[in-house]
Structure 1
Amino acid sequence: MILPRPVSFVRGDGEVVFDGTVHVSRVDVPAEGYRLSVAADGVRVWASDDAGEFYARQTVRQLSGPGAFRAVPPDRVTLPVCEVVDQPRFGWRGVMLDVARHFLPKHDLLRYVDLLAAHKLNVLHLHLTDDQGWRFESVRFPRLHEVGGWRADSRFGDRRSGGMAGRPHGGYYTQDDLREVVAYATQRHVTVVPEIDVPGHSQAAIAAYPSLGVAGGGVWTDWGINPNVIVPEESTVDFYRQVFDEVLDVFPAEVVGLGGDETEGGDGRVVRRIAEHLHQRGRRAFGWDEVLDRASDSTAGPLPTRMIVASWRGEEPGLTALERGHDVVMCPERYLYLDYRQSDDPREPIPVGTVTTLEDVYGYEPPDRVLGAQVNLWTEHLDSPRRLDYAAFPRLSAFAEVVWSPAGRDVAEFRTRLAEHHLPRLDALGVEYRPLDGPRPWQELPGVPGFPR
C-alpha cells in the first residue's frame, strides 16, 4: 500500500490507534533513509537526517488512509502493525516544470511542491525562460519581465493547424515570490533548481532587449524551435552574467540550469562562459545534452567537467557524458516526457509525441551510475493546472517509484496498489488525474488538433 514501494515492508498482526505522536531517534542509516515501526507501544522512526524523518512521516501519512491527505485530516486514525525499512535508490528524483510556455500561479506552484514531497521526490527544476515568456523578476533589467513576461496570443493545438487561442498570456514571479517557494520547498526537502535558457529559446529576452538577438521581434506566440538566438558577443555574456547573479541571490541550490538545447546555429562559447561563471560563484551548471555538441565547437573550448548533463535525447548522450567525466540526470523523452499522450485513445486531449503509457514510465530503469532521473512537463499544450494534473498523474506516481524503489518491480502489483490505495489519496488531494481507463468527458478537448508520432 506504500508508494513509492519501500525496500522492506513487513506487516504484523493487528492495528493500533495513532494520535499523531512519532518517537524519532537519530541512527546511522543511509541518507534520506529510515526505519519505521508501528507497534502497540507507539510509532517509532530511526533516521540519520531530517529528510529521512520527513519521508518516514510521509509513509505514516499513507498508512493513515486517504483522509490524512485532506486539508483537515482526522485527529486519530488506525495504523497497521508493521515494520518498514526504506531508502531511496537515487539522490536526484526530479520534476522539470515548464512555467515559461504557460505561467503557473504561485499558489499552484506551492501545491506542486506538496505533491512532489508526498511522492518522496526531491528536485523541482523550474524552466523559467523561453521564447514564449520570461518568468523571473530582474531588478537590473526590468524589461525582461515587464516586456518578456507576456505575449499577445498563443498557438492553440498543434502549430501545423494554424489555430490560435485569441487571448494574451502572461505572468512572472517576483524575487520574493521565488524566495517563498524556495523556503516552502526546503521545509519539505525539495531543492528548487532554476533554469535560464541560453543561447536559444531566448526570444522573450530579445523582445525586451533587442541588441541581445541575432534578429529582433516580439515575444513568440508559436511553439517549436525559433531560429533566433542571442548574439555570441562578450557584451551578451556579461548581460547574462548579471542576470544569473540575480538568480543566484534568490536560489541557494548548488545546481543552476543554463539550457543549451535546440539551438540552430547556437554558440558553444556562450554556454561555456556562463558555466564557468556559475562555477566561479560556487555553483554547478546544469544543461540539456546538446551542450555536449557545443563542446565540439573549436571556438568554445571544453565544457567544465563539473557541469551536469540532462540526457533527454535518449540515454546515449548521457552515457557519453559519463565517459567524459560529467554527472548525469536521465530524462529520455521516450519514457519521461509527461506532456506526451498517454494512449492511442482518440479522446486524448491534444495528442502530441509518442504514446507514453503508465507502464512505459514504470518500466524505465535508469543506469545505476547516474545522479538520478527526472520527468519533464513541457507546457505548450498544458495551459492550466487542470491540464497539468491530467498529464502528470498518475504517471508521476509511477516515476516516483522508479527513482525511489529497488529495481525489479512488478507492474501488475503496482497497478493494483495504485488503484486501491493511491488514487484515493490523489482524490483527497484534489488532483485531477487521468483515470486508468481513459479521460473523463471534461478532460477531453474535441476538435483541438495535436500531432501524434
Structure 2
Amino acid sequence: MIKMKFLYSIILCILSSVVYAQTKKTPQLDLAITWQPLENNYLKDEQGLSVLEIKNVGKTALPKNGWKLFFNFIRVITPKNADQPFNVAHLNGDLSCFTPGKNFEGLKPGESLKYEMLSNSWMVNTSDSPQGFYLVWDNSNEIVPFKPVSFVAPPDQKKFFRVGGDKETTPEMIFNANQSISNISESKLTKVFPTPVEYVENGKSLTLSSNLSIGYETGFENEANLLANDLFKLFGKKIKVSKLPSAAKPTIILLNDGSANEAYTLSVDEKGVTINAGSNAGIFYGIQSLKTLIDPAAFATDKNKEIVLTGVEVKDSPRFGYRGFMLDVARNFQPKAQILKLLDVFALYKINTLHFHLNDDEGWRLEIPALPELTNVGAKRAHANAQGSHLQPSYGSGPYIDQLPGSGYYSKEDFKEILRYATARHICVIPEIETPGHARAAIKSMDYRYQNLLKKGDKIAAEKYLLRHLEDQSVYRSVQKWNDNVMDVAMPSVYNFLETVTDEIITMYKEANAPLETIHFGGDEVPKGVWEKSPAFNRLKQSNSEVKTTADLWNYYFGKVSTMLKKKGLYLSGWEEVGLKKAVENGKSKWLVNDKFANQNVHVNVWNNLLGNEDLAYRLANGNYKVVISFVSTFYFDMAYFKKFEEPGFYWGGFTELDKPFNFIPYNYLKNQQKNYLGRQLSEKVLNEAEKLTEVGKNNIVGLQGQLWSETIKNSHHLEYLLMPRLLALAERAWSKSPDWAEEADETKAKELYGQSLSAFYNLLGKRELRRLNHYAGGFSYRVPTPGLKVNGGSVSANVQLPGFSIRYTTDGSVPTLKSPLYTQPVSIGSQLTFRTFDHAGRGSEVSKIDQVKNDGAK
C-alpha cells in the first residue's frame, strides 16, 4: 500500500507538468520556508534527520488540496513517519515534489507547520539544504515561486557529527592553526609571483611614468600591446609602443634570446626593464612577473603619476608545461564577461589551460549551429512541460525560463571571442563534451529534435542524432540521481552526433585562429545497469565478437572516439575512467589500469585519490597514460574551506583549506598528505603498499589542474569566493620549482622549512597579491579568512591567517564594521564579544564569537 501511495505521488507530480504556463506570482500566497538539520546517523544508519518549517506569510490560505510544491534537494528524502503533512516523490535528478497528505488541512495566514524528513546521507552545511521551492496550482497551472530557504544551525552539534572525532571548526581551532604563521616584513618578500626559479633584488629602482615607452623585437607585437594596455589602466594615458630598433631607447624592451618554451629573464634597474625570452609565451610570462612586481596599491587607480619598481634580476621557467583550471558552466552558467575576467587572472598567475566543462545533465552551454536544439532546449531550465522544450529546474534554478544561473549559453561568436581572448594571453582552451554519462542535456535536446522531425514525416533525419534507444528498458540511477542521462554507445547515431559536434568545434577554433590539440570527452560516473536491456546493445553483440557484455562497450566507445579524433589530428582527453577497467580482487571491486589506450597520448584527469585509490594517479602514469593531477582532496575548489555549518561548498572529498594545494608534492604526495577525506590518518598498510612513481611515470605527469564544479554556485561573487585565494596556491605549485621542504629528507628540518615557506606565502597574499586582486580586472570577491580566537583567563586573543589583514570587534554582539574598534591586543572577556577580519578594501569576513570558544584559563 505504501508503494502504491508513492507511485501515486510520482504520477501526480508528473501530470502537473503536462501543461506549462509561465505566469507571475500570485500576490496573496506567500510561504516562508526554513530548513534545520537535526541529526546525522539517525537511528544508527547513514541518514540525516532534518525539519522544514513552512509558514504562511501571505494574505490567503494554502488550501488542503489542488497544488503541488516542487523543490530541489541533492538528497532523496522520505517522511520521518506517516503523520507528516505532505506526500513526497523524487522525480529525477535533484527535483522532488510535495503533494498534500491525508492529514493536511490547509495552512491559513500566520500559521506554520513542520515537516520532518530523512535524507539518504549525511548533512554538513548549508549547501546540503533544499532550495528553489515553487508551487503549481492544479487547475490553472499557475506558478508561485517563493523566497530562498532560510537556514538554522543544528541545535546539538554532537548529534550532527558524522563519525567519531568529527568536529565543527571553531575559532579556537583557527587560532591554533594561525599561530604558526610568522609576520614577515613586506620588504623581505619575493615580489614576483609565482615564485621564480631565481630572484635577486639588485639594490636599484626604476620610476615609471606615463611617458614611458615599450620597444619589442619582431614577433612580440601582441605582447607589447597587451602590456601597453595594462599600463594604460594604471596611468590613464596611451603608452607608446614601437618595433626595435627605435630612435630612442624604450623604457621597457622585449628581446628574443632563443630560450626554450616558456622560460624568460627579467631585469629591472635604474635604466629600464629588459625581458628576454625565446617564445611569445616566455615574453608574456615575463610581463606578468613585471606586473606582480608593481605595488598592488597602484592598481586601485588609473591616475598614477609614477610607479616605483624594485630593481630585480629574475631567471624563470615553469615546473609543469600544463597548468590548468577546469570551470564547470553546465550545472550553473557564468556569462561571457565573467569568463574573460577569469582569463585575465589566470594569465596573471601563469595558468595556461582552461578546461571548459560545457555540458552536463543540467545544461548544454555551447551553440552548435548544425544542432540548434542543443541550446534551444539544453541551455534552458524551467518548470517541465509535455513538449520537452527545456530541462527541469536543478540546484534551485527555479521555474522560469531564461534566468541565470540555470539558463544561458555561449553563442558561436561568444565562444570565438573567448578563444581569441585566451589565445592572446597564451591560454589553451580545452572544450569538454561530457560523454557518455552526464549527458542528459544533450539526450533531451536530441529527443526534442527527433519528435519535431518525426512530426514532419522525416524519420531518417529524426533518427540521425538520437542518443538513446526508445525501447531501452535498462534501469539505472546516476550519482546525481538521474535515470536517463547516459548515451547509448551501441547506437551509430551517437557517433554521428559526436562527429558533428567535433567538426563544429574545430571550425570555431579555426575561425578564431586558436590552437586545438584535444577535446575532452569526459567518461566519468557511468552508473551500473546502463545498456543492459538496450536493443542496440543486443544487436551489436550479434555483429561484433569483441562486445559480449556491457563492460566491453567501454573500449568499443572510447576506441571509436579516439580513432575519430586521430583522423582530425587531435588526441583524446578524459577523466581517469577512460584509462581504467573494473576488476574484482579478493572479493572487492577495484579499478585497474586498462592497457587498451596506453601509449597512445591519451590524457586523463585523475580526480580520485580516495579510499583505496590513493595511488591511482601514479598507477596510470606508470602505465603510460598522460596524467593531469586533479585530486578532489586537494584541487577541487568547490569543496568547503573547512567544516562549519555556515561555510558554503561540498565536502564529500574532504575540506580544502588554503594550505592543502600549497603543500602538495606532485611526485610524492603521500609524503605529507596522509589523511583521508574524513581527516583520519591513512593506515601504514595503505602507505606502504601504494604504488610509487617510476621514472617513466614521472615523465607522464604533464601537470596540475584545479577544478570548480558549479552545483552550489549561484553568482560570480560565490564563484570568486570559492576560487580565491586557493587559485594562487595552485599557481605556485604548478609553476614554481620543487620547494626545499619537499626535497628535504629530514622530517624535522622539512617541517621547519615548510613553516617558513607557508608563512612567506600567506604574507605575500595578505600584503600584496590579494591587495592587487581587490582591483585587478575589475576586482575579485575572494574569501576573507575568519579570525581565530582564544580565551585565556579574563581576556580574548584574536589572530588571522593572512598577515596584513586587520581584525575589528564589538562588545554588544553586533556584526563589526570598519567603524568598530581595531583589535591590537587581547580584549577583556565579555559574553557578546564578536570579531571580524577586514581586507585592505574594507570587505569583511564571517564573524567569530566568544561563545564559540572555551576558556582555557578559567578556574
Whether these two folds match at TM > 0.5 is yes
Partner in structure 1 of residue 381 of structure 2: 151
Q: 1:58 aligns with which of 282, 288, 292?
A: 288
Q: 2:495 aligns with which of 237, 248, 257?
A: 237
1:75 and 1:294 map into 2 onto residues whose CA distance is 62
Instruction: Give the letter for the 2:266 counterpart.
Output: L
Matched, 1:254 2:517: yes
Q: 1:80 aligns with which of 299, 307, 310?
A: 310
Instruction: Give the letter for the 2:201 counterpart.
Output: R
Structure 1 unmatched ranges of 5 or more: 157-162, 217-221, 445-453
Partner in structure 2 of residue 213 of structure 1: 468
Partner in structure 2 of residue 17 of structure 1: 207
Deviation at 1:223, TM superposition (A): 8.1
Distance change (3 Å), C-alpha of 1:167 and 1:75:
farther
Distance change (3 Å), C-alpha of 1:155 and 1:290:
same
Partner in structure 2 of residue 306 of structure 1: 601
Deviation at 1:72, TM superposition (A): 3.2
Matched, 1:366 2:666: yes
SS at match of 2:597: coil
1:390-405 equivalences in 2 (<5 Å): 390-405=721-736
Q: 2:767 aligns with which of 412, 420, 423?
A: 420
Partner in structure 1 of residue 781 of structure 2: 432
Q: Deviations over 1:251-295 (max 9, x none)?
A: 332121100111114641222211221111001111000112359
Q: 2:413 aligns with which of 173, 176, 201?
A: 176
2:582 and 2:564 map into 1 onto residues whose CA distance is 17
SS at match of 1:373: strand
1:73 and 1:291 map into 2 onto residues whose CA distance is 53
Deviation at 1:67, TM superposition (A): 4.3
Deviation at 1:74, TM superposition (A): 3.2
Deviation at 1:143, TM superposition (A): 0.6
Matched, 1:276 2:563: yes
Deviation at 1:225, TM superposition (A): 5.2
1:223 and 1:171 map into 2 onto residues whose CA distance is 24
Distance change (3 Å), C-alpha of 1:100 and 1:223:
farther
1:442 and 1:205 map into 2 onto residues whose CA distance is 42
Distance change (3 Å), C-alpha of 1:443 and 1:244:
farther
Contact 1:227 1:263 in 2 (8 A): no
Contact 2:381 2:397 in 1 (8 A): no
1:164 and 1:112 map into 2 onto residues whose CA distance is 23
Deviation at 1:174, TM superposition (A): 1.1
Instruction: Give the letter for the 2:519 counterpart.
Output: V
SS at match of 2:342: helix
2:505 and 2:728 map into 1 onto residues whose CA distance is 30
Q: Deviations over 1:53-86 (max 9, x none)?
A: 1111111111111245457373631001111111
Distance change (3 Å), C-alpha of 1:275 and 1:320:
same
Contact 2:199 2:313 in 1 (8 A): yes
Deviation at 1:112, TM superposition (A): 0.7
Partner in structure 2 of residue 448 of structure 1: none
1:350-365 equivalences in 2 (<5 Å): 350-353=649-652, 354-365=654-665
Instruction: Give the letter for the 1:8 counterpart.
Output: E
Partner in structure 2 of residue 194 of structure 1: 431
1:137 and 1:402 map into 2 onto residues whose CA distance is 35
Deviation at 1:318, TM superposition (A): 2.5
Matched, 1:125 2:355: yes
Partner in structure 1 of residue 71 of structure 2: none
Instruction: Give the letter for the 1:436 counterpart.
Output: P
Partner in structure 2 of residue 3 of structure 1: 193
Contact 2:639 2:649 in 1 (8 A): no
Deviation at 1:417, TM superposition (A): 1.1
Distance change (3 Å), C-alpha of 1:145 and 1:295:
farther
Question: What is the TM-score normalised by the length of structure 1?
Answer: 0.89
Deviation at 1:155, TM superposition (A): 4.1
Residues paired across the two proteins, number: 432
2:507 and 2:305 map into 1 onto residues whose CA distance is 41
Q: Deviations over 1:24-62 (max 9, x none)?
A: 221133321111111121111111111111111111111
Partner in structure 2 of residue 388 of structure 1: 719
Structure 1 window deviating more from structure 2 (26-35 vs 312-321): it is 312-321
Q: Deviations over 1:220-247 (max 9, x none)?
A: xx98253431112122112211111111
Deviation at 1:208, TM superposition (A): 1.0
1:90-109 equivalences in 2 (<5 Å): 90-109=320-339
Partner in structure 1 of residue 107 of structure 2: none
Instruction: Give the letter for the 1:188 counterpart.
Output: R
Contact 1:67 1:74 in 2 (8 A): no
Structure 1 window deviating more from structure 2 (394-403 vs 170-179): it is 170-179
2:715 and 2:521 map into 1 onto residues whose CA distance is 26
Q: Deviations over 1:322-377 (max 9, x none)?
A: 23322111101110000000012333124533111100110112235311010000
Q: 2:576 aligns with which of 286, 289, 292?
A: 289
Q: 2:625 aligns with which of 310, 326, 347?
A: 326
Contact 2:595 2:623 in 1 (8 A): no
Contact 1:155 1:223 in 2 (8 A): no
1:164 and 1:204 map into 2 onto residues whose CA distance is 15
Instruction: Give the letter for the 1:260 counterpart.
Output: G
Q: 1:224 aligns with which of 480, 487, 512?
A: 480
1:247 and 1:176 map into 2 onto residues whose CA distance is 12
SS at match of 2:304: coil
SS at match of 1:302: helix
Instruction: Give the letter for the 1:91 counterpart.
Output: G
Contact 1:15 1:81 in 2 (8 A): yes
2:315 and 2:644 map into 1 onto residues whose CA distance is 40
2:303 and 2:344 map into 1 onto residues whose CA distance is 15
Larger Rg: 2
1:74 and 1:407 map into 2 onto residues whose CA distance is 37
2:263 and 2:605 map into 1 onto residues whose CA distance is 25
Structure 1 window deviating more from structure 2 (240-249 vs 331-340): it is 240-249
Deviation at 1:15, TM superposition (A): 2.1
Instruction: Give the letter for the 2:629 counterpart.
Output: M
Distance change (3 Å), C-alpha of 1:307 and 1:171:
same
Deviation at 1:414, TM superposition (A): 0.6
2:199 and 2:393 map into 1 onto residues whose CA distance is 49
Contact 1:179 1:250 in 2 (8 A): yes
Deviation at 1:385, TM superposition (A): 0.8
Instruction: Give the letter for the 1:434 counterpart.
Output: R
* RCO comparison, higher one (Cα < 8 Å, 6+): 1
SS at match of 1:375: strand
Distance change (3 Å), C-alpha of 1:9 and 1:91:
same
Deviation at 1:406, TM superposition (A): 1.1
Distance change (3 Å), C-alpha of 1:223 and 1:106:
farther
Q: 1:136 aligns with which of 338, 341, 366?
A: 366
Partner in structure 2 of residue 449 of structure 1: none
Q: Which aligned runs of 4 or more in structure 1 are off by greater than 6 angstroms?
A: 438-444
